[in-house]
Every structure is written in C-alpha cells, then in structure tokens.
Structure 1
Amino acid sequence: MSTRKIVTLVEEVVTEGGRPVEPAARVAVVAAIIANPWEGQGFVEDLAPGIEATASDVGALLAARVVEALGAPVEAYGKAAIVGLDGEIEHGSALIHTLKFGDHFRKAASATTLLPAVEKRGPAGVVFDIPLKHITDATIRSHHQSIEVRLADAPHPGEIVIALAAAAQGRPQQRLAPLSTEQ
C-alpha cells in the first residue's frame, strides 16, 4: 500500500438549535490517500490480488487512528471510498466492502453491524458525506447521521481516499421517537 498522506478531522458541536450540547457532540474522521492498486492496468477482471495487498492494511491503519482521534467510546460509525478520476468506483468498493477492511473497525469499536458507506469517483476537492449508524443496532434512529468531508488536494486521478468516521453519540438534540413506535 502506497500512502501519500493521512488526514484527521475532529468536529465538536457545542450548540444545536440554540441550546448547549453537553457534552459536546464529537465526530472524528481519518482518511488515507493511497495509490489506486489497479491504476494503469486497464479493466481488471480479478480484483482479489489488490484487495489482498491493500484492504487489511488500510483498515488496520485507519481503525486505530479514528478511535484515538475520537477520544471516547464509539457509538456510531461509517466508511468512505472516493476514487480519483482514472479509477473505477468498483476499485474503492473492493477495498472497503470486505471483512479484511471492516473487521478492524468493528473490533476497535466493539461493533456488530455493517458499516454504512459512500463510494464515488471525483476530482481532488470533491465533497462527500460519510453516513454513520449505531455500532450494534442500525435501527437506532438517533445515531443516523452523516459528516461532510472535503480534502483540497485529494484524490489525484490515480488515488483513492479511504476514510473512516466515528461518533461518540447520536445527533445533537435528537428527538425522534424510536422506530418501534411506528411498527
């Protein structure tokens, strides 16, 4: 895995709806900008060798860092793969939609649910939203949220941005009734 850089973002919401948020609602994102392992190969039928060479390493790198950046127990999480313009969306999907990648974060967060994801192709500076859901029960509405990310110089055409997001809580000031009230 060839990594150009790693970016860590931490957001704390201290006021929402004109009211204090106590404790502050904290969300962390850690992104690795890596070389696309399939760059310059044309259409690659078998993505398995690139997955084997990359997915677990990038998953391990990001999982530890996002939990550390959050600085609190993880309650909600999500992932992203943003492919540079010379790649295919399938290249990003191949790296993040495998247990070799996701199990690092599930273990670090003591999670059991699937990680919600965004995948897209775009130029450097593309804006993307990482969806988050509760780590053990995806039906818990308070934890359905997203965080917007933009990296000014990534991805380059032959790169992929791989990112993990973690939240220490649900949405600030959430007040929706539980899903069970509608069933």
Structure 2
Amino acid sequence: MAEALLRKVVTVADELLLELGRPVAVPVRRVAAAAVIHNPWAGGGLVADLGPEVERIAPGLARLLTGRISEALGGVDRIESFGKAAIVGLDGEIEHGGALIHTPFFGNVFRELTEGTSIIVFSDDRLPAGEPLTVPLWHKTAAATRSHYQTCQIRIPDAPRPDEIVVIAAGASGPRPNARIGDRATDPLIRLADLDDLDDLETVT
C-alpha cells in the first residue's frame, strides 16, 4: 500500500466493567482500528474495474488494521469476535468502500490473520466527516454464537474528507456483557403457525 495514500490511523477501545452498576460476568474489551486513506477512484468518474486498486491497497490495510487490533487486545488469541466497515466520503461511491472490504484481498487476509473462519459481518455508508458509524461484530469461528453478537462505534472528527475512505476492522475479547438469551444452536423451532397470539402484537405497536 502506498504510504502517500494513508493520512492517519485511529484506534479506539473501550472496556465495559459494570452493567446496571454491577460488575459484568466477563469484562469485555472492544477495539476498532481505522485507516483514513485517499480514495484512489476519486475524480475518475464511473471506473468499471476497481480490481487493480483493490489488489494493490486492500491486503496492506488488512495487515495494518489487524495488527492494531491485536496489539490493543493483547494478541490474536484474545480476539473472539470480529467485524469490518467502510465509510466513503461524499465525493465517492458506496461501491468504493465495498471494494476495499468485501473482496478476498481484505476479508481473507483479515480472517487468516485473526485465525477466524466465519464470514465477517460488516457495515458501510457514505457520510460527511465526523459522523459515527456502528460496526457489528460476531464470533470469528462460530457465527451462530449469539452471545458474541455486539457492536462498537467509531467516529473520526476530520474524516472522511470528501475524497477519502475510512476502512475499519474491529475486534472484541469476549461476549456481550451478561449475555443470557440462549443460542441459535439450542433455540426451539419457531414458525408463524406456532404463534397463536401473534395478533396481540398489534397492541404493542
């Protein structure tokens, strides 16, 4: 990845210790690492083939951001959940962000470096500088593990500029605080026909 493309790297982290004023069962640290880069397709009109720039840029971004997450969490083995995201500046296409995070040149590298096997959950948007984006996460090897469904949020006051893209990788060291709503692997089979009181929901809405 060309160094001139990269303007800044931002890492945000939080560690939740209390919920409703009581210690959580498992303190969880969540980290999002973001690379603010110049949009390589900015000003070029509708570029038919985004592949060459993706192949040039995306693997380096995946390595960089995974390294930041791993360092903040204390090693790859501490990463239990992961997610990815992109924010495109106002002069770019949504597809520009998607190109950098949704192909194997980013996703496969990120997954391998984190020792994951799951599909990587994601979010993306086109936003002005300073707007927040919520990044979803789930378990890196067992996507059906509901306890690890969670989010983190990132906001960079001066990014993305109109001709920039913010590429984000995120990780968490454990499950949601006090997770206790069961798991997809043990859920009963629920069908509409089984919900006799479905009409009662109309009184709730």
TM-score by length of 2: 0.86
Q: Distance in 2 between matches of 1:87 and 1:22?
A: 43
Structure 1: tracts of 5 or more residues without a match: none
1:8-54 CA distance string (max 9 Å, x none): 11100010132202552100111000011101101111111111121
Q: 2:113 aligns with which of 108, 117, 139?
A: 108
Give 1:64's aligned residue. 67
Q: Distance in 2 between matches of 1:108 and 1:47?
A: 24
Which structure: larger Rg?
2
Q: 2:9 aligns with which of 6, 21, 35?
A: 6
Structure 2: tracts of 5 or more residues without a match: 190-205
Q: Distance in 2 between matches of 1:17 and 1:25?
A: 15
Greater Cα shift, 80-89 or 9-18: 9-18
1:114-145 CA distance string (max 9 Å, x none): 11111100000111100001011111000000
TM-score by length of 1: 0.96
Query: Among the aligned pairs, what percent are the same residue?
Result: 46
Give 1:42's aligned residue. 45
Structure with the higher fraction of residues in strand conformation: 1
8 Å contact kept, 2:25–2:177: no
8 Å contact kept, 2:15–2:27: yes
Aligned-residue RMSD, C-alpha: 1.2
Q: 1:80 aligns with which of 80, 85, 110?
A: 85
> Matched residue pairs, number?
183
Give 2:101's aligned residue. 96
What letter matches 2:35 in structure 1?
A
Runs of 4+ residues over 4 Å off in structure 1: none
